[in-house]
A and B are shown apart, each in its own frame.
Chain A
Amino acid sequence: MGAAPAARDVTSYGTGLAAPLALFFLAFFVAPLLQLFWLSLHNDTAGLHWGIGQYLQFLTDPFSLSVLGSTLLLGAAVTAVCLLLGFPIAWLYQRVGPRLQTVIILIVLLPLLTSVVVRTFAWIVILGRQGIINATLQSLGMIDTPLRLLYTQFGVVIALAQVQMPLMVLPLITALGRIDSNLEDASCSLGAGSWRTLWRIVLPLSLPGIIAGCTLTYAAAITAFITQSLIGGGQMLFMPMYLYQQASALQNWPFAAAISIIFLLAVLAVVSVFTALGRLSRGYGGA
């Protein structure tokens, strides 16, 4: 902020170059969004009567609210799993030789190179009654009847965590790579143990990466229509499926529009929490 006068020239160039993209967004994102909002402000499916009936219907209906709640919780669970599993990988990446680094980056990127549908079907094979997990446990004699893994909340979280993992690991690798390794050495030489170093030095400094990763993973996980419906099945209702059902099977566009607007606002609220945490991390960076 202190360098505002110098930055002004740069930004004026920036806006000029950003104009095509801005126009594109205006035409293909903002305009449809406004249209969606306009549609949601109608009380009947034909779109003739104005009113906020659709919003009232959603917000006063415990069932609809529970769908919203479970979707937001699903995102939180997936993000937590991705962070717990992804952070060590990103940390490892900074500490191995270049050859292993290539291997790690390849493994992390590999899921992005296959279609979501294919990845999700692989999980059906893994989690099914005669899938890899059940077959292994049964042959080891640990269970008698197959466990129900597919079509459960657990299955959805695991599958989504794998599918969205790159979105968490890549920002983490970048953030961890930017940390000056001398800081960790300094911490150790001043008597801090490795856990303390991780907790007081590495984690706070990688916070921007953690927040970027969490935001991306969260947004992707709660909107992952394909994985949610294939692994969760038809009885586990999350917002994307709810929306699809109303818009497509029932042709109730105003209600579907209201659902999308509410969903959008809920996601924005969560993202703004992440952003607030991001400000906190800048505090750490300056310290």
Chain B
Amino acid sequence: MMINRRSLLTTALTFGAMKAFPGLSFAQARPLVFATFTGSWEEAHKAVLVPAFRKANADAAIVLDPMLSVDQIAKVNAAKANPPIDVMLHDPGPALVAIGQDLVEPYPVEKSAYYKDLITEAQEPMGPAPFFQVVGLTYNPDTVKTPPTSWADLWKPEFKGRVGITNLNSTLGTGWLVEIAKMRGGSEANVDPGFKALEELKPNLAAVAANPGALATLFQQGQIDISPGNFNAIQILKARGVPVEFVAPKEGAIAFKTTIHIVKNSPNRDLAFKLIEAALTPEVQTTLMKSPYLIVPTNSKVTMGGEIARILAKDTAELTQKFVFQDWKKINEQRAAWIERFNREIKL
């Protein structure tokens, strides 16, 4: 772009005008901004949710601004009165943070046509859960001949130097630690047994990845052969020819609710509500459930099919029964201390 005197002057005038008449800036004309997650989420939402929303709402303008939950919170927090985002997407931990910091509005449940059809776990009055993320065991079928069946299999001596995990910065890492603690008699309030178990896992650890995305790529490199993993991330790798398989451990796969929220003080409140409604419809959820997205639906009217029915659950009743839901309110209370402890204790 060339910068000449005219464009400089225009910019200066615009800034000046925005300063002089703050109402001018964004308040009315801004398109709906939906902060989805990066990667497969963005692809899925761009391809399915956004077209469905635009079709139902006379081609309303919408912008996807993909970023991590924590970054969404930081951005909204920095400009609470005039938030740059209208709709946020959150993992369970950050969702509670956002609610706690008063960044989201209650969902207008009484206006919603689909809220009541959601399974009970997904009915969150501060922002419903249109999707689940499922964490189970991931392994490389070329090198691991007997599929693992339990979290405890990670400790088997045959996996010496072949196990990968992530640190606690991610929902996956934290949720998995809690599950390990539970397996050894702990709970959301007491992860001590989990840390002891981690200590015993050290000889088996080949990698502690900085985030789940980095963990998944390690299968590609043969750096690790088994790890806790996200169902969707694994399906994407599998579709690209990486030898990985997902199994739900017998203790139950961990389900994280991915909740969607209207940002407080959003100038596009109505459109935000309509976008969330679109995400709750059986049509959108059915399409997202199919290949290549394979996102676990939460609307009980959706008939389970494909890989999800084969690997996870054949209907929503089985799903709620087989999945493990964690108490993130309790987890959040101590998460900072756990991250600190992980920093100090887990050195390879």
Measured CB to CB, the residues of A under 8 A from B are 63, 121, 124-125, 128-131, 145, 148, 150-151, 229-230, 232-237, 241-242, 244-245, 247-252
Contact = CB atoms under 8 A, between A and B. Distances in A.
Contact of B335 (A63, A244, A247, A250): A250
A251 B167 contact: no
A232 B214 CA distance: 11
Contact of B343 (A63, A128, A247): A63
B258 interface: no
Nearest to B174: A249
B336 A234 contact: no
A230 B169 contact: no
A245 B338 CA distance: 12
B304 to A, nearest CB: 33
B346 A129 contact: no
18 contacts: A63-B343, A121-B217, A124-B221, A128-B222, A129-B221, A150-B207, A151-B348, A229-B211, A233-B210, A233-B214, A234-B210, A234-B211, A235-B167, A237-B343, A241-B210, A245-B343, A251-B70, A251-B73
Interface of B: 68, 70-71, 73-74, 97, 161, 166-169, 173, 206-211, 214, 217-218, 221-223, 335-336, 339, 343-344, 346-348
A124 B217 contact: yes
Contact of A128 (B167, B210, B221): B221
A128 B339 contact: no
Contacts of B221: 124-125, 128-131, 150
Contacts of A241: 210
B335 A234 contact: no
A245 B169 contact: yes
A267 B218 CA distance: 33
Contacts of A251: 70, 73-74, 97
Contact of A235 (B70, B218, B348): B348
A124 B206 CA distance: 13
B339 A150 contact: no
B335 A129 contact: no
B223 A247 contact: no
Contacts of B70: 248-249, 251
Nearest to A251: B97
Contacts of A250: 335-336, 339
A87 B43 CA distance: 46
Which 7 A-B residue pairs are closest in the complex by CB-CB distance?
A: A234-B167, A130-B222, A128-B221, A235-B208, A229-B210, A248-B70, A234-B208
Interface centre among B68, B71, B211, B223 (most CB of A within 10 A): B223
Given A128-B222, A128-B223, A145-B161, 6 more contacts: A125-B221, A128-B218, A129-B221, A234-B167, A244-B169, A248-B70
A279 B335 CA distance: 49
Contacts of A63: 343-344
SS class, residues of chain B in contact with chain A:
mixed
B88 to A, nearest CB: 14
A27 B119 CA distance: 50
Contact of A234 (B97, B209, B223, B344): B209
Interface centre among B210, B211, B335 (most CB of A within 10 A): B210
Given A234-B166, A250-B336, A129 B74 contact: no
Given A245-B169, A248-B74, A250-B336, A233 B343 contact: no
A232 B347 CA distance: 11
Contacts of A150: 207, 221, 223
Nearest to B101: A251
Nearest to B225: A129
Contact of B207 (A121, A151, A249, A252): A151
Contacts of B346: 235
B7 to A, nearest CB: 14
A252 B336 contact: yes
Contact of A230 (B167, B214, B347): B214
A177 B173 CA distance: 52
A274 to B, nearest CB: 30
A237 B342 CA distance: 11
Given A129-B221, A150-B223, A151-B208, A248 B68 contact: yes
A140 to B, nearest CB: 19
A130 B243 CA distance: 14
Contacts of B343: 63, 237, 242, 245
Contacts of A124: 217-218, 221, 223
Contacts of A236: 347
Contacts of B161: 145, 148
A129 B223 CA distance: 5
A31 B327 CA distance: 41
Contacts of B168: 249
A137 to B, nearest CB: 15
Nearest to B8: A20
A127 to B, nearest CB: 9
Nearest to B337: A250
A234 B208 CA distance: 5
B345 to A, nearest CB: 9
A233 B227 CA distance: 15
B207 A230 contact: no
A242 B223 CA distance: 25
A248 B207 contact: no
